Structure 1
Amino acid sequence: MAAATKIGRLEGLDLARFIAFVGMVIVNFSIVMGAEGTEGMLSNIIHALEGRAAATFVVLAGIGLGLAGMKGELNLTIFTTFKRAAFLLVLGLLNMLIFDADILHYYAFYFLFGALLLPVGTRALGWLIAGLAGAAVLMVLTLDYEAGWNWTDLTYPEFWTPVGFIRNLFFNGWHPVVPWLGFMLFGVMLSRSKLSSTKTQDALMFGGLLVFLLVNAISAYLQPLIAMVEPELVDLVTTNPIPPMPFYLMAGMSVASMVVGICLRAAPLLKDLGVLTVVNPAGRQTLTLYLAHILLGMGVMDELGLLGGQTTQVAFLASGIFCTLCVIYAFIWSRYFKRGPIEALMRKVAG
C-alpha cells in the first residue's frame, strides 16, 4: 500500500504538470491567434485559464524544489538549483528573441530566490508570500505600471536595457518576481505537507475550491464599491493577472491547490486505467514541450497564416491537436530515453 501511495503521489504531480501545460498552450495559442476578447463559453474558459495555468506551473516547480531539498543534501540542492537557474536564464533570453511572453527567464529567478529560501521555516515562508503581495500593491501605487510597455502590440521595447530588464523582471513584466515568487514559495510550503495522504489531498481540493470561490466573491463585491470612489484603484481588488494583485495571488494559489489535490487523488485510479502511462511522459517533459509549443506550434501556425484573426474554436482545435501530438511524441520518446531532450541537456550542463 505504501509503495502504491508513493507512485500515486509522484505520478499525480506529473499529471498536474501536463494539465498546467495544456492550459498554458490554450492561453498562448489564443493570444497569438487573436482569439481573445470574443464572447462565448470557450472565451470564458480562456479567461479563466489566463494566469492560472502558469501560476499552477510555478507552484508545481516549488513543490519539486521543496521535495528535492528534503531528499538530498540541502547545500548541494541549492548549488544545483543555482546552475539550473543560470541555464533557464540563458534559454529564456534566447526564447525572448522570438516570444515576448517567455516565462523561463522569470523561472530562473524564482528558482534562485526559492533555493536561497529553502532553509526558511514554513510559517516564515507564509509571511514572505504576504510581504510579496503587499509589496506588489505598494509598487503599483507608487510606480508607473505602464512604463516600458507598448500596449498596442504587447511588446516591451526597453526589455534589453538594464533599467527596463530589472523593471520588467520585478515589477511590470508578464510574470514579475514580485509577487510571482509567492507561487514558488507556496509550492515549497506544500512540499512539506503529507501530499501522499488522502486527507491532505482532500484539503487541497476542497480548501482550494472554497478559497477560490471566496476570493472571487469578495473581489466582485469590492470592485463596484471602489469604482464609485476611485475607479483607478479597482485593479487592486481584481483577480486578473495584470497587474498581479493579492486577490490574483490567492486565486492562483487556490487553483493550483485544487489541481494538485485532484491529480494526486485521482492518480491511483488513472494509473489502473492506463491513463497515466500514456499522459505522464508529457508531464515529465514540460520544458521541452514549452519550447516546442513556441518554436514548432506557433511556427507552423505562422506558415499556415493562422496568427491573428482566428476564432476561439480554431484556437482550441489547434491547442487540442498540438497537445495530442505532444502526448504521442512524449510517450514514444519515453520508450527510449529517460528524460526529454531539453531536460537531458539541462541535466548534463547544470547537473
Structure 2
Amino acid sequence: MDAARGLALVGMFSVHAYGAFAADGSPTPAWMFAGGRSAATFALLAGVGLAFTTGGRRPVVDRGTRAAIATRALLVGLAGLLLGLASRTAGLDVDVILVFYALLFLCALPLLRLHPRTLIGLALLLAVAGPVLVHLLRDVLPMPSYDGDPTPADLFTDPLGLLSDLLVHGNYPVLAWTAYVCAGLAAGRLDLRSRRVAGRLLAGGLALAAGTWLAATLLLRWFGGLWHLWRAEFTDTPWPEARNEVLWDAPDGATWWSLISRAPHSTSPFDMLHTLGSAAALLGAVLLLTRHAPGRTALAPLAAAGSMPLTLYCAHVLFLATGALEDSPDLLCAALVAGALLFAMCWRRTAGRGPLEALVAAAAGRARRAALGRDATSLSPTEPDKPQSA
C-alpha cells in the first residue's frame, strides 16, 4: 500500500509541476496520465488504511478507535487549512486536498462495520448518484466567498461557504468522493495478501476504467456530447481550438451534459468510475509486484515516500509556494520527486515514521486512551496509528 501511495505522490507532483495544459493549449502528459487519478488513489487508499486500523478482515470498532480517527481527521484538516493559507498567499493553483480528506475520514466513521459487499455497492451508488446530487446542489448551496483554497480564517468568516465548498463546490466534493473511501474500506476488509484478491483488483479495476472511458468517449464523440458541452460552457473559444479544452478541462456544470465528461476532476459518473477503477488496478498491480523480493526492492523508494504522505505532501506545497523553479517544470518535477524519495529513504532508515505522521499518531493515540478511559500501555489490533504496509 505504501508503494501505491508513493506512485500517487509522484503523479501529483508531476501534475503540479507541469500543470494541466501546455502553452499551445494541448493537455500535458502529466495531466493526461495522472490528473484526477492520483487524488482518487489517495482517497481509495485512505479507505484501505482505515480498514487496516480497525481490524482488517475482522472489524473491531470501539469508541477509542473512533476518537483516534476523529483526532487524525482534525489534525489533517488543520494542516490543510494552514497549507491553504500558504497557497493563497503565494497565488498557487494547487487545490489542497487535505481539508476534504479530513472530512472523508469523518464520513467514514459510520461505515466501519459494514460488510465488504455492502461497501462495494455503496461505492458504486455514490460514484453514480453522487455526481448527480453535486450537480443539483451546486445551484442551491452558496458559493464560498473566498477564492482558492480554504484557510483557518474561513472557518469563522464563511463557515457555510466552507462547508458547501467541501461538499459540492470544491475540486474533491465529499458527497461524491466518499465513494473512493467506501471502495477502499471494502478492499481493506479482504485478504490483500492473496494473489487471487490482488489479481481481481487489477483485472476488475482495469475493466471498470477502460469500460467507462470507452462509454464516455462514445457519448462525447458519437452522441453529441462534445458539441453540447462546447455550446454550454466553452463558446468563448472557437470549436477547433476548444476541442482539447472540452475533452480535458472539467466543465462548470452549466448543463446536464457535464455528467458525461471524462475530464479529470469533472466529478461525472464516468470520471468517478474511471478513476475508481484506475486506483483499484494500481493497488492490485502493486500488491502483485511486491509479493516477491525483486518487486519489493524496486519499489522500496516509492514505499518509503508512501509511508509518510502527509509530510511529503505538506513539504511539496510549501516548496511550490516559494516559487522556486516555477519557470522550469522539468527541473521542478525532478526536484520534487528526487527530493521526496531521498528524504523518505533516509528518514525511514534513521527515524522510521515520518515527522508529521509521528505527531498525528501520538495525538491520535492519546485520544484513543482518553476515550477508553484507561491508560493503554500497548497498541491493540484496532489501534488507528499502527503502521501498516502491503
- TM-score higher than 0.5: yes
Could you give the per-residue CA deviations for residues 41-75 of structure 1, whole angstroms, max 9, x where no partner exists?
98134233111101001111110111111257411
Residue type at the aligned position of 1:164? G
1:257 aligns with 2:280: yes
> In the superposition, relative to structure 1, how do residues 221 and 98 fare at CA in structure 2: closer, same or farther (>3 Å)?
same
> In the superposition, relative to structure 1, how do residues 243 and 147 fare at CA in structure 2: closer, same or farther (>3 Å)?
farther
2:61 to 74, 82, 93: 74
Calculate the aligned-residue CA RMSD, in Å.
2.8
| TM-score (ref. length: structure 2) | 0.75
> In the superposition, relative to structure 1, how do residues 273 and 116 fare at CA in structure 2: closer, same or farther (>3 Å)?
closer
C-alpha distance in structure 1 between counterparts of 2:258 and 2:115, whole Å: 32
Residue type at the aligned position of 2:123? I
SS of residue in 1 equivalent to 2:83: helix
1:174 to 171, 183, 186: 171
Aligned to 1:318: 332
Aligned to 2:28: 43
| TM-score (ref. length: structure 1) | 0.83
1:110 aligns with 2:113: no
Matches within 5 A, 1:18-37: 18-31=6-19, 36-37=21-22
In percent, how many aligned pairs have the same letter?
28
> In the superposition, relative to structure 1, how do residues 145 and 129 fare at CA in structure 2: closer, same or farther (>3 Å)?
farther
SS of residue in 1 equivalent to 2:87: coil
1:285 aligns with 2:279: no
SS of residue in 2 equivalent to 1:148: coil
Residue type at the aligned position of 2:200? A
SS of residue in 2 equivalent to 1:78: helix
C-alpha distance in structure 1 between counterparts of 2:361 and 2:305, whole Å: 17
> In the superposition, relative to structure 1, how do residues 193 and 14 fare at CA in structure 2: closer, same or farther (>3 Å)?
same
1:56 aligns with 2:53: no
Tell whether the 8 Å contact from 1:149 to 1:156 is kept in structure 2 after alignment.
no
Report the alpha carbon displacement of residue 186 of structure 1 after superposing the two structures with TM.
0.6
Structure 1: stretches of 5+ with no match in the other structure:
1-12
1:128 to 122, 127, 135: 122
How many pairs align? 326
C-alpha distance in structure 1 between counterparts of 2:303 and 2:266, whole Å: 33
SS of residue in 1 equivalent to 2:347: helix
> In the superposition, relative to structure 1, how do residues 251 and 316 fare at CA in structure 2: closer, same or farther (>3 Å)?
farther
Tell whether the 8 Å contact from 2:47 to 2:182 is kept in structure 1 after alignment.
yes
C-alpha distance in structure 2 between counterparts of 1:104 and 1:45, whole Å: 21
Report the alpha carbon displacement of residue 29 of structure 1 after superposing the two structures with TM.
2.3
Matches within 5 A, 1:1-351: 13-31=1-19, 36-38=21-23, 43-71=28-56, 73-75=60-62, 76-99=64-87, 101-132=95-126, 133-141=128-136, 143-144=138-139, 148=143, 161-224=158-221, 225-227=223-225, 232-269=255-292, 271=294, 274-296=297-319, 298-300=320-322, 302-304=323-325, 306=326, 310=327, 314-351=328-365
Residue type at the aligned position of 1:79? A
Structure 2: stretches of 5+ with no match in the other structure:
89-94, 233-254, 366-390
> In the superposition, relative to structure 1, how do residues 175 and 206 fare at CA in structure 2: closer, same or farther (>3 Å)?
same
Report the alpha carbon displacement of residue 88 of structure 1 after superposing the two structures with TM.
1.1
Residue type at the aligned position of 1:97? L
